[in-house]
Amino acid sequence: MEKNRTDTRSVEPVLGAMYFGTRADDALSFDLLDAFVDLGGRWIDTANCYAFWEDPSGVGGQSERVLGRWFAARPGMRERVRLATKVRHQPLVPHEWPSSAEGLSADAIAHGFAASLDRLGLDSVDLLWAHAEDRTVPLAETVEAFGALVADGRVQRLGASNHAAWRVEQARAIAREQGVEPWTAVQLRYSYVVPRPGVTLPEGGHVHAERDQLDHARTEGLDVWAYSPLLTGAYVRPDRPLSEGYDHPGTHRRLEVLAQVSDELGVTRNQVVLAWLLDQGVQPILGVSSVEQLTEAMAARDLDLSPETRDRLNEPA
């Protein structure tokens, strides 16, 4: 069992490892991981299903295997970083998703997480996410199974990704009744510009952070992790426009303010967005494909937004 790691609830950028082992080979993945640690990064986020849609096998696990090889090649690194992974969505039959996607039954959680540890070559992780809801399984069963992993020392903390706020709180209430560890973090899609309420995003399964979810997290003291914080380059790349769901007056106003602030501060729009998220206590998950992109993103930690600048960024909606 690894030494217990404390201070797992600070607000900082997270390195997303979704495409490690598929779009990013071992060499690039290792370079990004090494640079992230050298830049002071600590949290790495992956999932057992990453990235089944990119791999000829039709099943996931590539990212966890790369991370396992990296930990094996970097003695002592496990004590320097925090690792989060997810269960739910791994195809149980190659190329058959979502029809064969693993769920959140007790057996599915136990087997899915055991396979994750095997690929990672580790005895435990710092945070385990329920990747998405599974309403075919009683929530009490899911909560109990997650709690058992904390009780036996294989997981330090628990979180819910792509869940409705009421569902998270219901699970937390069940955890209190059962006397097991509750979910204390949520992971949702979130950025400076937001889609129209109720719009269906092109990316299947993405759940956008709405005001009630953010309010719930702040009220209950839950960590908030934001995936796709830079909207796959839409803030800085004309060839990657925002999807139709973002086309509304609030987006246009916010993009104007974002451009003004970035020009005044002499930084990139991406850096302003990341600094804005961190200023709210939100941990952005960085999906980068080069050390240069990573270095730019990590520099956002040093960007101090004045109260006036913060008000300007927050005013348009």
Please state the pTM of the whole predicted model. 0.95
Establish if 155 belongs to a structural domain: yes
Give the pLDDT confidence score for residue 2 in this predicted structure.
34
Establish if 117 belongs to a structural domain: yes
Establish if 6 belongs to a structural domain: no
Give the pLDDT confidence score for residue 6 in this predicted structure.
44
pLDDT digit string (tens) for 83-102? 999 999 999 999 999 999 99
Give the pLDDT confidence score for residue 200 in this predicted structure.
83
The first and second tokens of residue 145, run together, are 């199974």
- Count of domains forming the chain: 1
Kindly report the CATH number assigned to the domain that includes residue 139: 3.20.20.100
pLDDT digit string (tens) for 210-245? 999 999 999 999 999 999 999 999 999 999 999 999
Establish if 159 belongs to a structural domain: yes
Establish if 95 belongs to a structural domain: yes
| CA-based end-to-end distance of the chain | 48
> Rounded CA gap, 45 and 270, in Å?
20
Positions of the chain with pLDDT under 50: 1-6
Establish if 216 belongs to a structural domain: yes
Establish if 79 belongs to a structural domain: yes
Establish if 178 belongs to a structural domain: yes
Contact 205, 132 (CB under 8 A): yes
> Rounded CA gap, 154 and 151, in Å?
8
- Domain containing 78: what range? 14-314
